[in-house]
């Protein structure tokens, strides 16, 4: 086994454990919604499987691009904790940037992602993947996209509501 695979086998369980520890601490403090937990479980399971088995790197990297929206989501929380009103200029700019980026990296890419998935689905290469790999790939992709669509709908409604309130 080469050094990279050894490092991945050590780093993945450590990262997963630390993520879940942080997630449950946050759950207790902030009463996080169940979809947040499901989203993180699906993503962590899929990434752990992909990294530990060394399979489907194209699709894993494609999925990883969706994290470009995370800084805006986190910045929204920071503004809230710092006491910025949601109608303040920094909050408004961040909210519009979050909405645009979330759409661009999580929703607009869905047709391209699934068209590539369709090209592989049912081929000999697909059936060479272990059942766990196929399950991690398909189930996590579908569940993550369903939740991303739900969240996008909420983000757009919130953004329009705040922008409409700001105009008044």
Count of domains for the chain = 1
At 94-138, the pLDDT tens digits run 999 999 999 999 999 999 999 999 999 889 988 988 888 888 889
Nearest CA to 69 out of 109, 38, 42 is that of 109
- What is d(CA 167, CA 81) in angstroms, rounded to the nearest whole number? 24
Instruction: Kindly report the backbone phi and psi dihedral angles of residue 90, in degrees, each rounded to the nearest multiple of 5, phi listed first.
Output: -60, -40
Q: Of all helices (H) and strands (E), which one includes residue 14?
A: helix 3-30
Q: Which domain holds residue 23?
A: 3-167
pLDDT band at 12 (very low <50, low <70, confident <90, very high): very low
Number of other CB atoms surrounding residue 29 within 10 Å: 8
At 142-153, the pLDDT tens digits run 988 998 999 999
pLDDT at residue 16 tops 60: no
CB of 38 closer than 8 Å to CB of 142: no
Higher pLDDT, 149 or 26: 149
Place of tokens 């009103």: 85
At 55-85, the pLDDT tens digits run 788 888 888 888 888 889 888 888 988 999 8
Tell me the HSE value of 78 on the side-chain side, using a 13 A CA sphere. 8
- 132-150: burial string, b at 16+ Cβ within 10 Å, e else: ebbebbeebbebbbebbee
């Amino acid at each position: 086994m080469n050094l990279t695979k050894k490092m991945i086998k050590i780093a993945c369980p450590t990262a997963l454990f630390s993520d879940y520890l942080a997630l449950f601490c946050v759950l207790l403090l902030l009463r996080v919604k169940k979809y947040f937990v499901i989203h993180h479980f699906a993503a962590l399971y899929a990434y752990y499987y992909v990294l530990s088995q060394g399979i489907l790197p194209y699709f894993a990297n494609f999925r990883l691009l969706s994290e470009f929206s995370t800084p805006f989501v986190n910045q929204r929380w920071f503004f809230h904790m710092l006491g910025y009103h949601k109608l303040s200029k920094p909050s408004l700019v961040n909210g519009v940037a979050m909405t645009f980026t979330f759409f661009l990296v999580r929703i607009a890419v869905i047709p391209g992602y699934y068209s590539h998935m369709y090209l592989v689905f049912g081929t000999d290469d697909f059936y060479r993947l272990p059942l766990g790999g196929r399950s991690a790939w398909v189930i996590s992709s579908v569940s993550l996209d369903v939740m991303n669509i739900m969240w996008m709908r909420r983000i757009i409604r919130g953004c329009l509501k705040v922008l409409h309130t700001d105009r008044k």
